[in-house]
């Protein structure tokens, strides 16, 4: 008996230990990544009004990188160095800022493959490609015939295309017409951009559509492969006070584009060539000279739907729909509705059937409008107010963000039934599940991105970081784990297991492959050359000195080009370069890379330069001087490291 | 018996629960801040080559704000809006980038008071003041006669001054001389800037010093009140290949400045007035128009040490000293030494005694050099290699970072004894304890800021975030808690309890106090006015529309000023403003604030603008259009929100 009790004691305490192990699954333990361990997922959050792309680790919620895309980045000289300036050129000039909304990973067979991530710019319409080996922007394409590139950049299942729909309709081509002539003169476009080859982005075609506001998009997969879907609002075609005037109709449309049909029409010549001008910026030699170039393109192929029957249908959808999200099977299409009290699920197979049966209730500009009931799979009863966006966990559940009621609902979408709901703080916009818009979601975590922060963090004055909230969705109920502080304004996000990206990342650029025209591969080759009023400094950096570190013979009126090659070939040994008084940003030069900073000295004197990125115990000693003589002085270029200075040939 | 065992069971499990509570003190639990709870400390980390100041919460390690200081910030229009452009003006023109190193909180009686934080810019020498009610930069002062403002911005105990020492000596005043004439022609300066009144920063005086590299500083307190201390290296006065040539001497100097004595010399007229030019940029009316202005200053008072006896002494200090840190009592002065194998502690009282006894071993330019042994309190035996920086916990211990051996040592500095050591990953630079350089450290946490990241996070290509490592120092041994991912390159940091800052932060700007010359306080007052080729748009934003949202009559060749007033008076409701094709950044306009964006339309057409910061369920509808007519067109300004448009008077 005694012994039995003893066992009882052990058993009770064993339960205690189990409880303790369960305790190890506290939210704190679930998000904690111990020093020396790594996060499980990369999460890519758009920067919104920052114009950049932010990289976080999950589950820690740590910001681990800001990738400069559409905005200049003084921190590393993006947009300031001669090598990167071309990236931000547009047909409207050099633009230092952008508004990024929707990152989208490249896909193979509908599954994110970790090669690239794309992202849109809304204000001056563009899309960008980021290489996930280097986490650098390597390509930007401007989109003509667009005013506000919002429904972008969403991929087709093999990254054949990324697509881009116009949020603000404009006269196409642009012309000076009364704003009140909106309904007559303003149009939208849905653009398909070839995206499967880096450096080769190109507009395959645009589809001219009625002057609505096209908001978001997702492309089909599985049975719906070959189609893309775009929400629209303002089918009222209001041009002023849209908050009232574009909220009149009970239903607006989802535009369903058959891009395989569009390809046929292009092949059959059913398109118009429109003269226009737009920029394609890219790095032709990303392992070599790494210098961005701009090409100016001059025309685009435009399909008019009524001339290409079957390319486009309108799906009535309540009310001012925002998100449009296709489930992993490709059959179910869930639409948000900013002002909607229902959550409609469309059926792709019913849509095809309705098209076959010509089950139309009308048409606009030759575009058939399908009958709502004919395409509707169901309306989820009692969802929430203001459903916006939906992602999928791959286990048969969808998660929809609800702006007005500040919550996320979990839906068994085949059964058309809400099974869980969780409050968010506050006013949730987009939400993200790793792989959650793909054919094979990884699930596990949910990250709603909220629009109001208020009291979530210690206060920082009127301007606050945004807040995302990380949930564990591996169980039946959503469990709130962490408030994640977000830089910029994340609109949408994507996440992918670190194991699919990390092994392909590179640590250095190979100096041997560097064929920059101003590369300096060894200290012996370092030199300074005058060409008229230009002075070219071929400079090397290595722990812990510049070669040359003393330069004389520069004059006021010269333009000095510092071509700095970091001849290190070790991981995590960048050097920085800055010079006193430069009306420019610094350079941050990675191992094996050459970057160029322009400096126009204004006054005679001796000016220091230095390494801006702590590199060694003697980093503080990594400095040099340029002597600047008056304009017109009769001086010769001299340079060196050490007491002996060379005279330029 | 049975009953007794039952109690035994309960008791055993109670122990289990106690163990479980102890388990709550795991590193995971220690750094976890549950959703809805707040961090205990604000930590302010310099951005280094980002030019900004980063704000983190501790213990979570979350980045919660980036405060734009010396670099443009496209994200919120800092440096792009008409109201902020003046902040980045210098005597060398508009400079879009800076290199921030050392943030320092304002102090009262030697204790951080949470009013302001100051930070230096190294490249184009400047210091800035950030208001901790708004977390905004409200003042920037350029520092003349300086090349590299590194030993900066450190405060005196009542924020009488912030001080600034030159890292790179230059000809003073600047002139076209051979670099090889360094020893003869190059000088440094130690600058004292009046800092106790916002908007009134001014250079009280500069002290002209030998041409060494002045590296870091800290000012005295308690008995050493009235003194500031600056490390120097390159007392060899090398001008090339400093990594070798500036590492020759066994000892360099700490410069000890008696600023009370300097004040006397100024009062007695023992100074020179030097003509020079430098900018003072500030917001004269931070609650009203909030428009930064630039003043150009023309002269500065310079003290030459040999003409002001007692103002400056040199303290020999091994070897290429970097940090200089004064303990909370003000008696002990601990110096790092980048190449040092010892950790020297100087005694302030011994220094005073040595001065009294004229215990000098020589002089430089009339500056007495004290005898090392006469000022030395001790050399800590067996410290580490490359000791750099020291902070204090207020309990009698100092913590010193060691770059070469990648570790932190904890020292009982009065006993001159290492009591604990912990490895850091990798190559630690600065380190920070909340209040750790003040008279009353809060202790509790230690944050070393490491210079190499390598494998601490999932990789992001060649360019990596930096890593800080958070330690718990509340026990006897340092306990590593968390790898903190850091934006930019944090050099130094400061932290303060949230309770000393948060209650003073403001949530909105009061519209009533807004006296911006282009403010629009109600929609009725919104208007558009042409003045020659300038078009001024007096615009309001409120959820969810602009007034006006339609504008016509603008012509190619016009310069359009959008003066956008956010008439919201609710917390956390900013609006953004961007217009298609602007060669500019967006505006992010806080409640009650007016900001101005300049736009020069290039081609006729109709161009959309929109709110860039999600503000309501109908944020997407918050848009408008500007019609642009050809240059020279005979058109009249019209504007409105709604079908009726007004004609400009």
**What is the set of domains in chain B, with CATH numbers?**
38-504 (2.130.10.10), 520-647 (2.60.40.420)
Q: What is the pLDDT of residues B581-618, one digit of tens each?
A: 999 999 999 999 999 999 999 999 999 999 999 999 99
A296 at B interface, C-beta within 8 A: no
Q: What is the pLDDT of residues A31-58, one digit of tens each?
A: 999 999 999 999 999 999 999 999 999 9
Short-list A170, A27, A135, A149, CA closest to A100? A149
Nearest to A461 among B57, B481, B505 (CB): B505
ipTM: 0.95
Percent above pLDDT 90 for chain B: 93
The whole-number average pLDDT for the span B545-562 is 98
The H or E element that residue A65 is part of is: strand A62-67
* Arithmetic mean of pLDDT over chain B: 95
CA B341 to CA B382: how far, in whole Å?
A: 8
Q: What is the pLDDT of residue A6?
A: 37
User: Which residues are CB-contacts of B592 (< 8 A; sequence separation ≥ 6)?
Assistant: B508, B509, B510, B511, B513, B514, B566, B567, B568, B569
Name B363's bridge partners. B368
Nearest to A462 among B42, B47, B134 (CB): B134
Q: Tell me whether residues B71 and A585 touch, CB distance under 8 A.
A: yes
Q: Tell me whether residues A621 and B233 touch, CB distance under 8 A.
A: yes
Instruction: List, as ranges, residues 255-274 from A with C-beta within 8 Å of B.
Output: none
Q: Tell me whether residues A19 and B19 touch, CB distance under 8 A.
A: no
Q: Got the DSSP string for B146-163?
A: -EEEEEEEEE-TTSSEEE
- Tell me: pLDDT of B21 over 60: no
> Which chain A residues are Cβ-neighbours of B621 within 8 angstroms?
233-234, 242-243, 246-247, 320
Distance from the A13 Cα atom to the nearest Cα atom in chain B, whole angstroms: 6
Q: What is the pLDDT of residues B183-231, one digit of tens each?
A: 999 999 999 999 999 999 999 999 999 999 999 999 999 999 999 999 9
Nearest to B458 among A124, A461, A502 (CB): A502
> Which chain B residues are Cβ-neighbours of A212 within 8 angstroms?
none
CB pairs under 8 A between A and B: 513
Tell me if B136 sits within 8 A of B67, measured CB to CB.
Answer: yes
Name A483's bridge partners. A469
B96 at A interface, C-beta within 8 A: yes
Q: What is the pLDDT of residues A71-110, one digit of tens each?
A: 999 999 999 999 999 999 999 999 999 999 999 999 999 9
CA A292 to CA A33: how far, in whole Å?
A: 38
First-to-last C-alpha distance (Å) of chain B:
100
Q: Got the DSSP string for B159-195?
A: SSEEEEEEEE-EESS-----GGGHHHHEEEEEEEEE-
Q: Tell me whether residues B338 and A620 touch, CB distance under 8 A.
A: yes
Q: What is the pLDDT of residues B474-515, one digit of tens each?
A: 999 999 999 999 999 999 999 999 999 999 999 999 999 999
> Which chain A residues are Cβ-neighbours of B92 within 8 angstroms?
580-583, 602
User: Which residues are CB-contacts of A382 (< 8 A; sequence separation ≥ 6)?
Assistant: A418
A556 at B interface, C-beta within 8 A: no
- Tell me: pLDDT of B5 over 50: no
B97 at A interface, C-beta within 8 A: yes
Q: Tell me whether residues A608 and B147 touch, CB distance under 8 A.
A: yes
> Which chain A residues are Cβ-neighbours of B89 within 8 angstroms?
none
Distance from the A43 Cα atom to the nearest Cα atom in chain B, whole angstroms: 11
User: Chain A residue closest to B467 (CA)?
Assistant: A64
User: Directed axis angle between helix A2-23 and helix B2-23, to 10°?
Assistant: 20
> Which chain A residues are Cβ-neighbours of B177 within 8 angstroms?
606, 627
Per mean pLDDT, which range of A572-576, B59-63, B383-387 is the poorest?
B383-387
Residue corresponding to tokens 């469990």: A479
User: Chain B residue closest to A585 (CA)?
Assistant: B97
| CA angle B77–A145–B614, rounded 5-degree value | 35
> Which chain A residues are Cβ-neighbours of B615 within 8 angstroms?
451
B9 at A interface, C-beta within 8 A: yes
**Which regions of A96-160 does DSSP assign to beta strands (E)?**
104-108, 111-121, 126-131, 136-142, 147-155
Nearest to B586 among A97, A136, A610 (CB): A97
User: Chain B residue closest to A573 (CA)?
Assistant: B452
The whole-number average pLDDT for the span B291-311 is 98
φ and ψ of B390, to 5 deg: -135, 135
Q: Tell me whether residues B623 and A168 touch, CB distance under 8 A.
A: yes
Q: What is the pLDDT of residues B508-528, one digit of tens each?
A: 999 999 999 999 999 999 999
Q: What is the pLDDT of residue B337?
A: 85
Burial zone of A420 (CB within 10 Å; 0-12 exposed, 13-18 middle, 19+ buried)? middle
User: Chain A residue closest to B425 (CA)?
Assistant: A36
Q: What is the pLDDT of residue A341?
A: 84
Nearest to B627 among A178, A241, A642 (CB): A178
Kindly compute the dihedral angle of the four CA atoms of residues B419, B424, B426, B427, in this order, to the nearest 10 degrees. -30
Q: What is the pLDDT of residues B524-533, one digit of tens each?
A: 999 999 999 9
Q: Tell me whether residues A621 and B584 touch, CB distance under 8 A.
A: no
Instruction: List, as ranges, residues 135-194 from B with C-beta within 8 Å of A.
Output: 135-136, 147-148, 167-168, 170-171, 174-180, 186
Average pLDDT by stretches of 10, chain A with 649 residues: 36 37 74 98 98 98 98 98 98 98 98 98 98 98 97 98 97 97 97 98 98 97 98 95 90 97 98 98 97 98 98 95 97 91 95 98 97 97 94 98 96 98 96 98 98 97 98 96 98 98 98 98 98 98 97 98 98 97 97 98 97 94 97 97 90
Name A104's bridge partners. A118
Nearest to A485 among B64, B80, B97 (CB): B64
Q: What is the pLDDT of residues A395-438, one digit of tens each?
A: 999 999 999 999 999 999 999 999 999 999 999 999 999 999 99
Name B594's bridge partners. B565
Q: What is the pLDDT of residue A79?
A: 98
Q: What is the pLDDT of residue A536?
A: 98
Q: How far is CA A325 from the centre of its chain?
A: 18
Q: What is the pLDDT of residue B22?
A: 41
Residue corresponding to tokens 């002269």: B299
CA B198 to CA B132: how far, in whole Å?
A: 12
CA A490 to CA A50: how far, in whole Å?
A: 9
Pick from B13, B36, B57, B64 the residue to mutate for testing the A interface (most A CBs within 10 Å): B64
CA B85 to CA B291: how far, in whole Å?
A: 9
Model confidence band, residue B319 (pLDDT cutoffs 50, 70, 90): confident
CA B276 to CA B146: how far, in whole Å?
A: 11
Q: What is the pLDDT of residues B111-122, one digit of tens each?
A: 999 999 999 999
CA B127 to CA B90: how far, in whole Å?
A: 12
Instruction: List, as ranges, residues 298-337 from A with C-beta within 8 Å of B.
Output: 320, 322
A632 at B interface, C-beta within 8 A: no
Tell me if B161 sits within 8 A of B109, measured CB to CB.
Answer: no
User: Chain B residue closest to A404 (CA)?
Assistant: B617
Q: How far is CA B427 from the centre of its chain?
A: 22
Q: What is the pLDDT of residue B405?
A: 94
Q: What is the pLDDT of residue B16?
A: 37
CA A607 to CA A580: how far, in whole Å?
A: 6
Tell me if B119 sits within 8 A of B103, measured CB to CB.
Answer: yes
């Amino acid at each position: 008996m005694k012994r039995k009790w003893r066992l009882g004691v052990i058993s009770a305490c064993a339960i205690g230990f189990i409880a303790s192990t369960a305790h190890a699954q506290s939210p704190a333990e679930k998000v904690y990544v111990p020093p020396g361990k790594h996060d499980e997922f990369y999460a890519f959050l758009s920067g919104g009004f920052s114009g950049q792309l932010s990289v976080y680790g999950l589950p820690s919620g740590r910001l681990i990188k800001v990738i400069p895309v559409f905005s200049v980045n003084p921190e590393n000289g993006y947009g300031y160095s001669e090598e990167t300036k071309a990236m931000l050129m547009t047909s409207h000039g050099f633009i230092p800022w952008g508004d990024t909304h929707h990152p989208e990973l490249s896909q193979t067979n509908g599954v994110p493959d970790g090669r690239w991530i794309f992202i849109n710019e809304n204000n001056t319409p563009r899309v960008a490609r980021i290489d996930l080996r280097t986490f650098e922007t390597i390509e930007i394409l401007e989109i003509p015939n667009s005013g506000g590139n919002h429904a972008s950049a969403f991929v087709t299942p093999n990254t054949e295309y990324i697509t881009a729909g116009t949020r603000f309709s404009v006269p196409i081509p642009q012309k000076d017409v009364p704003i009140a002539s909106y309904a007559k003169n303003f149009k939208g476009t849905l653009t398909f951009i070839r995206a499967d080859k880096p450096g080769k982005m190109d507009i395959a075609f645009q589809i001219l559509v009625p002057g609505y506001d096209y908001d978001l998009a997702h492309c089909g997969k599985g049975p719906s492969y070959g189609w893309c879907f775009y929400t629209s609002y303002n089918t009222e075609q209001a041009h002023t006070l849209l908050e009232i005037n574009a909220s009149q109709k009970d239903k607006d449309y989802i535009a369903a584009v058959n891009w395989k049909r569009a390809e046929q029409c292009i092949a059959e010549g059913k398109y118009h060539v429109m003269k226009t001008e737009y920029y394609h910026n890219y790095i032709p030699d990303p392992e070599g000279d790494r210098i961005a170039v701009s090409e100016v393109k001059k025309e685009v192929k435009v399909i008019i739907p009524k001339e290409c029957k079957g390319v486009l249908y309108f799906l009535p959808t309540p009310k001012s729909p925002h998100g449009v999200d296709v489930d992993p099977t490709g059959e179910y299409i869930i639409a948000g509705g900013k002002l909607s009290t229902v959550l409609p699920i469309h059926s792709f197979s019913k849509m095809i059937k309705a098209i076959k049966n010509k089950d139309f209730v009308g048409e606009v500009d030759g575009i058939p409008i399908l009958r709502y009931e004919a395409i509707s799979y169901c309306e989820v009863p009692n969802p929430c107010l203001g459903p916006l966006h939906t992602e999928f966990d791959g286990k048969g559940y969808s998660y929809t963000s609800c702006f007005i009621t500040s919550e996320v609902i979990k839906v068994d979408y085949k059964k058309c039934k809400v099974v869980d709901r969780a409050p968010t703080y506050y006013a949730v916009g987009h939400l993200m599940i790793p792989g959650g818009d793909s054919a094979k979601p990884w699930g596990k975590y949910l990250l709603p991105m909220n629009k109001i922060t208020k009291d979530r963090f210690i206060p920082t004055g009127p301007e606050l970081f945004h807040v995302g909230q990380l949930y564990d969705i591996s169980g039946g109920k959503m469990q709130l784990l962490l408030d994640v502080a977000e830089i910029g304004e994340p609109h949408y996000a994507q996440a992918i297991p670190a194991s699919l990206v990390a092994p392909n990342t590179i640590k250095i650029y190979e100096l041997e492959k560097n064929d920059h025209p101003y590369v300096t591969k060894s200290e012996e080759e370092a030199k300074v050359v005058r060409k008229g009023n230009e002075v070219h400094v071929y400079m090397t950096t290595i722990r812990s000195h510049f070669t040359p570190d003393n330069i004389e013979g520069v004059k006021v009126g010269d333009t000095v080009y510092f071509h700095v090659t970091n001849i290190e070939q070790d991981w995590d040994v960048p050097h920085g370069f800055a010079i006193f008084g430069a009306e420019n940003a610094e350079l941050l030069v990675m191992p094996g890379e050459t970057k160029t900073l322009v400096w126009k000295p204004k006054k005679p004197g001796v000016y220091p330069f230095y390494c801006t990125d702590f590199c060694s115990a003697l980093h503080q000693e990594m400095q040099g001087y340029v002597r600047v003589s008056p304009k017109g002085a009769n001086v010769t270029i001299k340079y060196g490291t050490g007491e002996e200075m060379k005279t330029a040939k």
